[in-house]
Structure 1
Amino acid sequence: MSKISLKLNSWTVAAGISMIATTLGLSMSAVQSQSVKTIAIDGSSTVFPITEAVAEEFQKSQGGRVRVTVGVSGTGGGFKKFCRGETDISGASRPILQKEIEACKAAGIRYMELPVAYDAITVVVNPQNTWAKNLSVAELKKMWEPGAQGKVNSWSLIRKGFPNAPLKLFGPGANSGTFDYFTEAIVGKAKSSRGDFTASEDDNVLVQGVSRDKNAIGYFGYAYYAENQKRLKAVPVNGVLPSPTTVKNGSYSPLSRPLFIYVSSKSVDKPEVKQFVQFYLRNGAKFAQETRYVALPASAYTTAQSHFGKKRFGTVFGGKEAVGLKIDELLRREAQ
């Protein structure tokens, strides 16, 4: 089992707990601990594996002088903490939205938006599912739209020829950026979804749910599928399977999307935060690949480093989702 697989598969978070401290075995005396600097990060469960990997290596490089905590409140939950000034950095699986921009502004917090990788939201079924060999966006909408609640409860209602078997749905919770993006891309409106499904901010709960039920279907970030391929089966969407290749060439649409970190203006001048972000961007491609996401081209990390160095605040997305955004389109926006 790979190193990141062990992390992903062993990561279980009790309901209601949103902060995971990655202390990573650093021991120090009480005297020493008084001088240890802490970097507080929260947000997306999708971005978590990348940031956790970066945090581990960065802490090692600092020899115990810096502690990094990585929380998992979901993208929306993370922005709430970020805009209250509770965190230095927020991980996000979608761009910051207008209401979050306004919340940060009201608190006097500006932010730097830095893309760190690309992801493919992956639709998965149980390996014993022999019928869902491909699903269209329209069929996924039929499953997940609000009007399906209490009505579309059998696979036979999705497509003629599918079995009369219960449709068991697993998906991210309402604070998740993955939930926001998926509903926008599939249903046509962010957060527009039926409510009668098993929801969790912990993607490993979703992995377990689908892997244990022949009739289950769910969705989450590609890394959680890639590390559990023996327990899950990915479903092509509109005939295309998610993969680094289909993300890079833009054919896995509309479920490919960029991943970000946001750095607070109140934290950017802290030496430890500055060093951490620089470390993150210098090694972004390596950590994206290690955690089974799609690395951005080298030019994207160079641009991000330049923007960070120049303290370029704000977002290039205008407070809106960016459904179906291809990597080359992201690079053009970021270069402006």
Structure 2
Amino acid sequence: MSDSPNRSVSRRSFLTSAGAAGALALAGCTEGPGTGTETGLSGSIRISGSSTVYPVAQAVTEQFRSQNSQVEFNLSRDGSGGGFSNLFCEGNSDFNNASREISSDEEEQCSDNDIEYHEINVATDALTVIVNNDNDFATDLTIDELRQIWRADGATTWQDVNSDWDDEEINRFGAADTSGTFDYFREAVIGEEADHTSDYEPTEQDNTILQGVQQDEYAIGYFGFSYYQSNQDAVTAVSVQTEEADSYVEPTLDNAKSGDYPLARPLFTYPKVSSLAEDHIAEFARFFVRQSANSDLIADQIGYVPKTEEEMQSELDALNEVISNA
């Protein structure tokens, strides 16, 4: 477990304050700040975990390699839970990305294997529900309606949700149960009184969700806002209303930043403390934190809400304290 203070930041307080895929060995480099300036660092870094955080990690690793060509990365999309249970908490990766906080079971698994970790908030996501562009009746949904659609033993047809809607079967595409996106959606939408339906197409690949909804007029899906931002013409994003709110709120970076969008959530990476004793890993962790406040990268290129400079500095201070004791 982390030995730094303030690591147990809840989703609410954080927001108010502001398939497994094959491993990808990053052998090439891209242009980035400091290109051409070599630091002399060398070694390898294994990063596992969330497909939602993957585009952030991919962009940051590419920028880091533009300055540190002797550092090799092995980056994979295993899902938050898959990364924790199969790799990170077994001591087989240096970082695990996660689209939700580490669970108590994962904490116990890490502890059993003497794996200490440090939690870093890297961005905020607006988890986005999507429907087909030809769907003209379900573009605004309440949390209760989403719950009916996605809970086990819930609605089978759209008409089951609202008697004015089409009497057509709901076809669902969403995150696999190894995904932090699945865990967050289950907690934020379905709640403790029911389970997530098994009557859907589960995947760690956002493109599979996009294509499934794009090709089916009566389909619905969910994934991180970043992938929607890159494919806005292909599908329609659903505006969401909570039980407490009077209006439907669309998923945008501004609405996620303000906390008005009900499915906004923090994103994380977890470095292993023992790995931070290696210079190239410690420097990469610092670089990752600094890039979390890079608005051009996090917001414009990827599609998440970046950290403020103050939040970033707070994360960096906490990380440096852990590194000094690693």
TM-score range with shorter-chain normalisation? 0.7 to 0.9
Which residue does 1:263 correspond to in 2?
271
Partner of 1:135: 141
The answer to which of 188-197 and 216-225 deviates more is 188-197
Counterpart of 2:118 in structure 1 is: 112
1:236 matched residue in structure 2:
239
Say whether residues 1:19 and 2:29 are aligned partners. Answer: no
Q: Which residue of 2 aligns with 1:170?
A: 173
Partner of 2:7: none
**Equivalent residue letter for 2:252:** S
* Counterpart AA for 2:231: N
1:25 positional shift: 5.8
Identity %: 35
Contact 1:181 1:190 survives alignment (8 Å): no
Whether 1:44 aligns to 2:50 is yes
SS in 2 for 1:143: helix
Alignment of 1:147-166 (within 5 A): 147-148=153-154, 152-166=155-169
CA distance in 2, matches of 1:52, 1:190: 37
Q: Contact 1:184 / 1:191 at 8 angstroms: preserved in 2?
A: no
- Measure how far apart 1:275 and its partner are: 1.0
Please show how residues 1-336 of structure 1 align to structure 2 within 5 Å.
17-24=21-28, 37-62=43-68, 64-80=69-85, 81-148=87-154, 152-189=155-192, 192-238=195-241, 239-253=248-262, 255-286=263-294, 287-289=297-299, 290-311=301-322
The one-character-per-residue Cα deviations of 1:73-101 (angstroms, maximum 9, x if unpaired) are: 00001111101010000100000110000
TM-score, normalisation: structure 2? 0.84
CA distance in 1, matches of 2:124, 2:20: 28
Counterpart in 1 of 2:36?
Answer: none
Q: 1:250 to 1:37 in 2, by over 3 A?
A: same
Which deviates more from structure 2 when the two are superposed, residues 82-91 or residues 201-210? 201-210
| Shift, 1:16, TM fit | 5.5
- CA deviation after TM superposition for structure 1 residue 204, in Å: 1.4
SS of the equivalent of 2:240 reads coil
Query: Letter of the aligned partner of 1:262 in structure 2?
Result: Y
Distance, in Å, in 2 between the alignment partners of 1:201 and 1:190 is 25
Alpha-carbon deviation of 1:257? Answer: 0.5
Amino acid at match of 2:97: G
Q: How many residues align?
A: 286
Q: Write the letter of the residue equivalent to 1:188.
A: G
Q: Deviations over 1:265-312 (max 9, x none)?
A: 120111111111111111212231121111122111101100110018
Q: What is the TM-score normalised by the length of structure 1?
A: 0.82
Residue 191 of structure 1 deviates from its aligned partner by 8.9
Deviation at 1:164, TM superposition (A): 1.2
2:159·2:167 contact (CA, 8 Å) conserved in 1?
Answer: yes
Distance across 1 between alignment mates of 2:264 and 2:20: 29
Q: Which runs of 5+ in 2 are unaligned?
A: 1-18, 31-40, 242-247
Cα RMSD (Å): 1.8
Q: Which runs of 5 or more residues in structure 1 are unaligned? A: 1-14, 27-34, 314-336
